[in-house]
Every structure is written in structure tokens, then in C-alpha cells.
Structure 1
Amino acid sequence: MANEKKRKPNWTECELYTLTDGIATNIRLIKGKFSMTVTNDAKNKCYAEITDSVNSVNPSAIKRDVADIKKKWQDIQRLAKKKESARLQVVNKTGGGPPPEDTLKSWGKNIIGTFTKTMLEGIEGGFDTSDTSDTQLK
């Protein structure tokens, strides 16, 4: 019981904004394909810089590491995509009505800014490959 892993504190709004701002600024490097300029070392260095900037605004004595940064980015990216997709579904419904509430925070809007149209709406004109009806196969 002496070596139980303690839970880290929750992320603050300032940490989340710093994380999303750092990644949004360097999104081409982070999501880019490997090339002469986009190397694994460059990506690791970028993540280390983002980690340092997040730790500089961290009010607790416990510091975040690169693995924490990557995991949190993956989690909040998934949640932001889910919220934005739900918002787009409401916007595209017929019948009018009031506009949907904007529930995204400033760091959530940073995340949405990194998405492509295809990531949110899918491929236009595509078809379901799991559908085996005759109309799809002809």
C-alpha cells in the first residue's frame, strides 16, 4: 500500500487553454506526416515545449509529463468532436426554432479550429460499406 499511485489534480481552465493553444499553434507539426522537416525528434520537442508551458501555469506542485499531455489532448479532442457533431446535427434539422446553445469554452473552440470539415461531417457522397442491400451494390 505504500507505493500506491496517487491521483493527479484535475486540470484547470488555464492549463486546458494553454494546452489547446500550444497544440493549435503547432498542429501542422503534431499531425503532420513524417518528412525531412517533420521528424519524431521535432514532434517530441514540440510536446516537451507544450508540457513546459502547461506546467508553468499549473498551480499545484505536481507537474504534468508528456504522456499526460498527449492523453489529455486525445480525450478533450474526442469530447469536443462529439459536442460539435451534436451541435451540427441540431443546426441541420428542419423546423426552425432557437439556435443551439454554445456550450464550448474558449479552449474547446481552439480544438474545433484544428478539425477539418471531413473530420466533422464525414466524406460527402460516401456510402456505407457494411450495407449489403442491392441498391448499394448496383
Structure 2
Amino acid sequence: MDKQKRKPNWSTDELEALAQGVSANIKTIRGKFSPGLTNSQKTQCWQQIAERVNSVNISEITRDVVDCKKKWQDISSATKKKEAARLKEMRGTGGGPAPVEDIKTWERLILGTLSKCSVEGVEGGVDTLECN
């Protein structure tokens, strides 16, 4: 049995290309299917993003559409968590130095694609896990 060799970690350039490609086409990627927006258009959009990512890739490894979609899901989730933690820290009371801002350029692009309530939660909402 041949084990599939693991692909190398994503470089910063690849992450920036992915974030730029998705943020520029977010309406197509997240849009609802309609006569004006078909599945083939979404697939073509993801293929263009994958080509963009591969154009900045210096290694011989190529990223396909599945790799790009998975990575986008992972980094957008991680960025959402990071931003929620940062906002929670900012709202906290007490002294001390301000939290260090360590948001990367590609994370800023991701934050631009997220809605406010997806990061902060629903205004006035109740966490059902905390209810008895």
C-alpha cells in the first residue's frame, strides 16, 4: 500500500492569494443558486481562485479546488474565533496594557467577508447552553 504523501503547509503568499480571491468573489461563492448564479459559475470561480493560489506557489505542489475550499473553511473559522476572543478581551474591565494587535493582512481580508453577528453573536441573544 502506498501512503499518500502529505502536502506542505500553506505559505503566507498562498494564504493571501486565497483570501484575496475569495474576498473579491464572495458574492458568487456565498450567493444563492438562481438563474443568474449557477453551480458551474461557482465551480469556475473556485477554479480561478485555485489558479491564483498556484501562481504564487513556489513549490511544485499544486492546490486543487478541494484544497482551497477546505483551507478557506479552516482559516475563516480560526479567524472568526481569534476576532471573537480579541473583542471579548477588549470589552473586559481592568487595567494593564492594551492587547497586542497581531492580525495578519490575509486575516483582515477574511474579517471583511464575515458579518458582524457571525463574529459577535446576535445582539441581545441568549446562550441556550447557559439556561437551566
Compute the TM-score of the two structures, normalised by the length of structure 1: 0.89
The structure where helix makes up a greater share of residues is: 2
- Mind listing any 5+ residue stretches in structure 2 that lack a counterpart? none
Deviation track 1:37-83 (CA, whole Å, cap 9, x = no partner) reads 22111110000000001111111111110000001001111110111
Q: Does 1:124 align with 2:103?
A: no
Deviation track 1:83-136 (CA, whole Å, cap 9, x = no partner) reads 101100011112243221112211111111111110011111222345554xxx
Q: How does 1:47-66 map to 2 (within 5 A)?
A: 47-66=46-65
Q: Does 1:73 align with 2:65?
A: no
Which one-letter code corresponds to 2:122 in the other structure?
A: I
Structure with greater Cα Rg? 1
Q: CA RMSD in A?
A: 1.4
Equivalent residue number for residue 103 of structure 1:
102
Equivalent residue number for residue 20 of structure 2:
21
* 3-state DSSP of counterpart to 2:113: coil
Q: What is the number of residues matched between the two proteins?
A: 132
Over the matched positions of the two proteins, sequence identity in percent amounts to 51
Partners of 2:95 and 2:25 in 1: how far apart?
39
Call closer, same or farther: CA 1:132–1:15 in 2, change over 3 Å: closer
* 3-state DSSP of counterpart to 1:37: coil
Partners of 1:30 and 1:11 in 2: how far apart?
21
- Mind listing any 5+ residue stretches in structure 1 that lack a counterpart? 134-138
- CA shift, 1:34, in A, is 1.4
Equivalent residue number for residue 45 of structure 1:
44
- CA shift, 1:4, in A, is 1.4
Equivalent residue number for residue 83 of structure 2:
84
Compute the TM-score of the two structures, normalised by the length of structure 2: 0.92
Which one-letter code corresponds to 1:69 in the other structure?
A: C
Equivalent residue number for residue 136 of structure 1:
none
